[in-house]
């Protein structure tokens, strides 16, 4: 059994619910998140549910997600065409638009000029779905197919230079289509379009709030867990802290927490976690000292996925050894978020590609013998932070920048050694402390240092050096599915570079990473 937020939300505010039919898009949950931002409850469902089953859920609106397939390809995922005759407003996005238009008599084909990235949308009809928007706006495209011919019952609303039907509506049915992605941050006014669909087209009132999620999750966890004991792994990040806070609210002293110090934590991280945990929880805390074991298993390993695998396996061993000391434990709680799920190719409703392995997604319950509790599995990072504040956690804990499960091992490129970790830990501490001193910690989403597996020539004093290079990475994002590099002030970058080179022995060069996600990921490994 998996106790997660979806089982809690399924009964919440059923009189105002929007359904997202997932056709395998990596942005399907991002669409749901954008809907929830508008205070409307949203649920992701399978794309192949019958119209009858969808109608039984009594949605006020339906959104068809994007997807990697071509609608005209054999075996391409389809929806029940009867949904278009339910009288429920439908918004198709990218693949979803093509699917809706084809089902209602239009022709979809491969376009001569594919669009991937930013495009300029020219709006021809600024009423209804596109109300309140300028005549021209930036949008994010990602398609190789498009609607080439619309039936007589569709009318165009907007176009780009290569896509004549970038937005359409049906003249008789409440069916709309967008070839671009309004849900991503690269479409700056996409929220206005979704708001128009929800409030002007679907008639929503905005009844859902995160506080409702918190209370219902607590009640559900309490009912599901009963008198059993739950073990929660602490990492020092907001995800595990909020998970622990939810469980503590639900079951109190039935919660036991384990912190595995794998030697891959940030500077002074273990002490900070213990102090914060002691101040805000009264549950049982176990600390496992395992630095030597992790360094030994990582010795000689440079390949990123293999590092993650080894860390994951040893984490299981350490966690299991400590967990067996806790009598009566039945459940294992994890702070898994949706970006972890989808990057691991484990999204429940779509064939997403595996980008990175996350050792906190899958595998643990089977090997540890516990049933899994993942109350944050359907949430994004900013939602988790808001939830943490709702639960009374301190702001400095809630707004702490994310830290990867495998720790500094994925920021120490190449083989991981104690010496390299010491260099990286000091450089990382300087980066974070300087961003805090500049008052930009809350304005940046994640900032850290990366130790590169290259050395370069330098000069210190009158001597030639041949030492390490450090890359500084800082990004801004709302959802961690897409991200832009932070435009930090030059004088701040100069201070970071000067301090790292002068204070961290073994570094003579500092670079700044100006890659966005996509195509890069936030972490280097």
Which pLDDT belongs to residue 2? 43
Which pLDDT belongs to residue 349? 40
User: Can you read off the two tokens belonging to residue 315?
Assistant: 């984490």
Instruction: Say how many residues make up the chain.
Output: 525
Which pLDDT belongs to residue 8? 39
Q: Which residue has the higher pLDDT, 10 or 161?
A: 161
Give the Cα-Cα-Cα angle 364, 369, 370 (nearest 5 degrees).
Answer: 75
Whole-Å CA distances, 85 to 52, 72, 88, 156: 11, 22, 8, 21
Which pLDDT belongs to residue 394? 85
The order of strands in the sheet holding 167-170 is 41-46, 17-22, 61-64, 90-93, 175-178, 167-170, 154-159, 107-123, 136-149
Least confident of 231-235, 255-259, 281-285, 437-441: 281-285
Q: Which residue has the higher pLDDT, 358 or 94?
A: 94
Which pLDDT belongs to residue 336? 83
Which pLDDT belongs to residue 139? 94
13 pLDDT tier (thresholds 50, 70, 90): very low
Contacts for 249 with CB less than 8 Å, ≥ 6 apart: 218, 391
Which pLDDT belongs to residue 359? 40
Cα atoms in the Cβ-side hemisphere of radius 13 Å centred on 450: 21
211 pLDDT tier (thresholds 50, 70, 90): confident
Which pLDDT belongs to residue 115? 62
**210-398 is a CATH 3.40.50.620 domain:** yes
Q: Where in the chain is the domain with CATH 3.40.50.620?
A: 210-398
Which pLDDT belongs to residue 20? 94
Return d(Cα 495, Cα 492) in angstroms, integer: 5
Which pLDDT belongs to residue 236? 76
Active site residue 257: no
Collapse the DSSP code of 194 into the 3-class scheme (helix H, G, I; strand E, B; otherwise coil) and give the result: helix
DSSP string, 13-49: TTTSEEEEEESS-TTHHHHHHHHHHTT-EEEEEETT-
Q: Where in the chain is the domain with CATH 3.30.300.10?
A: 417-512
Active site residue 286: no
Active site residue 94: yes
How confident is the model over 60-87, as pLDDT tens digits? Answer: 999 999 988 888 888 899 999 999 999 9
Closest C-alpha among 468, 469, 475, 482 to residue 514: 475
The listed range with the strongest mean pLDDT (194-203, 364-373, 458-467) is 194-203
Q: Where in the chain is the domain with CATH 3.40.50.880?
A: 17-201
How confident is the model over 294-305, as pLDDT tens digits? Answer: 999 999 999 999
Q: Which residue has the higher pLDDT, 387 or 115?
A: 387
Specify the CATH class of 417-512 in words.
alpha beta
453 pLDDT tier (thresholds 50, 70, 90): very high
Least confident of 184-198, 234-248, 277-291, 420-434: 277-291
Collapse the DSSP code of 475 into the 3-class scheme (helix H, G, I; strand E, B; otherwise coil) and give the result: strand
Return d(Cα 173, Cα 155) in angstroms, integer: 12
How confident is the model over 91-106, as pLDDT tens digits? Answer: 999 999 999 999 999 8
How confident is the model over 24-72, as pLDDT tens digits? Answer: 887 888 898 899 899 998 888 889 999 999 999 999 999 999 988 888 8
User: Can you read off the two tokens belonging to residue 390?
Assistant: 């709702």
367 pLDDT tier (thresholds 50, 70, 90): low
The listed range with the strongest mean pLDDT (2-6, 179-183, 459-463, 518-522) is 179-183
Phi and psi of 371, rounded to 5°? -85, 150
Give the Cα-Cα-Cα angle 334, 405, 311 (nearest 5 degrees).
Answer: 105
23 and 64 Cβ atoms separated by less than 8 Å: yes
- The mean pLDDT of 255-277, rounded to a whole number, is 88
13 and 207 Cβ atoms separated by less than 8 Å: yes
**17-201 is a CATH 3.40.50.880 domain:** yes
113 pLDDT tier (thresholds 50, 70, 90): low
How confident is the model over 311-338, as pLDDT tens digits? Answer: 989 988 998 899 889 988 899 998 887 6
Contacts for 255 with CB less than 8 Å, ≥ 6 apart: 229, 230, 232, 244, 247, 248, 281, 283, 284, 333
Residue 85's CB is within 10 A of a number of other CB atoms, namely 11
Return d(Cα 17, Cα 36) in angstroms, integer: 10
pLDDT at 181 over 60: yes
Catalytic residue among 102, 183, 269, 383: 183
The listed range with the strongest mean pLDDT (57-61, 183-187, 452-456) is 57-61
Closest C-alpha among 91, 102, 96 to residue 60: 91
364 and 372 Cβ atoms separated by less than 8 Å: yes
Helix or strand (DSSP H, E) at 121: strand 107-123
Catalytic residue among 16, 42, 79, 94: 94
Return d(Cα 164, Cα 179) in angstroms, integer: 10
pLDDT at 345 over 50: no
């Amino acid at each position: 059994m998996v106790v997660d937020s979806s089982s809690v939300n399924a009964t919440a505010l059923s009189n105002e619910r929007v359904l997202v039919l997932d056709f395998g898009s990596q942005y399907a949950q991002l669409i749901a998140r954008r809907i929830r931002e508008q205070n409307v409850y949203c649920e992701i469902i399978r794309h192949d549910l019958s119209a009858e089953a969808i109608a039984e859920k009594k949605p006020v609106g339906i959104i068809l997600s994007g997807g990697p397939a071509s609608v005209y390809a054999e075996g391409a995922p389809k929806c029940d065409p009867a949904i278009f005759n339910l009288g429920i407003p439908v918004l198709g996005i990218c693949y979803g638009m093509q699917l809706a238009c084809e089902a209602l008599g239009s022709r979809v084909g491969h376009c001569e000029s594919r669009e991937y990235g930013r495009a300029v949308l020219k709006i021809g009809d600024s009423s209804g779905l596109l109300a309140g928007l300028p005549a021209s706006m930036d949008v994010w495209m990602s398609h190789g197919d498009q609607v080439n011919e619309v039936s007589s019952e569709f009318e165009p609303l907007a176009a780009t230079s290569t896509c004549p039907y970038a937005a359409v509506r049906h003249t008789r049915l409440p069916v709309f289509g967008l070839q671009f992605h309004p849900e991503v941050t690269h479409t700056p006014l996409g929220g206005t379009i979704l708001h128009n669909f929800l409030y002007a087209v679907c008639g929503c009132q905005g009844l859902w709030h995160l506080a409702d999620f918190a209370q219902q999750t607590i009640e559900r966890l309490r009912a599901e867990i009963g008198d059993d004991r739950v073990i929660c792994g602490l990492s020092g990040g907001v995800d595990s802290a909020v998970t622990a806070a939810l469980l503590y609210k639900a079951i109190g002293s039935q919660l036991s927490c384990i912190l595995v110090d794998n030697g891959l934590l940030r500077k002074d991280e273990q002490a900070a976690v213990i102090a914060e945990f002691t101040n805000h929880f009264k549950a049982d805390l176990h600390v496992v000292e395992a630095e030597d074991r992790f360094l030994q298993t990582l010795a000689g390993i440079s390949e990123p996925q293999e590092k993650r695998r080894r860390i994951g396996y040893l984490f299981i061993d350490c966690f299991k050894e400590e967990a067996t000391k806790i009598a009566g434990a039945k459940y294992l709680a994890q702070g898994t978020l949706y970006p972890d799920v989808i990057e691991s190719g484990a999204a429940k409703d779509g064939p997403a590609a595996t980008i990175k392995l996350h050792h906190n997604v899958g595998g643990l319950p089977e090997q540890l013998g516990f049933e899994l509790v993942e109350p944050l599995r359907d949430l994004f990072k900013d939602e988790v932070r808001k939830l943490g504040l709702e639960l009374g956690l301190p702001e400095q804990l809630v707004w702490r920048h994310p830290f990867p499960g495998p720790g500094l091992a994925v920021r120490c490129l190449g083989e991981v050694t104690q010496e390299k970790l010491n260099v990286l830990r000091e450089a990382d501490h300087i980066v974070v402390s300087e961003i805090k001193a500049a008052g930009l910690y809350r304005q940046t989403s994640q900032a850290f240092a990366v130790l590169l597996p290259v050395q370069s020539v330098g000069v210190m004093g009158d001597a030639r050096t041949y030492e390490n290079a450090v890359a500084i990475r800082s990004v801004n994002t709302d959802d961690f599915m897409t991200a832009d590099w932070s435009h930090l002030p030059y004088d701040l970058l100069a201070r970071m570079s000067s301090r790292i080179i002068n204070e961290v022995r073994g570094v003579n060069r500092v670079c700044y990473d100006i890659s966005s996600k996509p195509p890069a990921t936030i972490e280097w490994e």
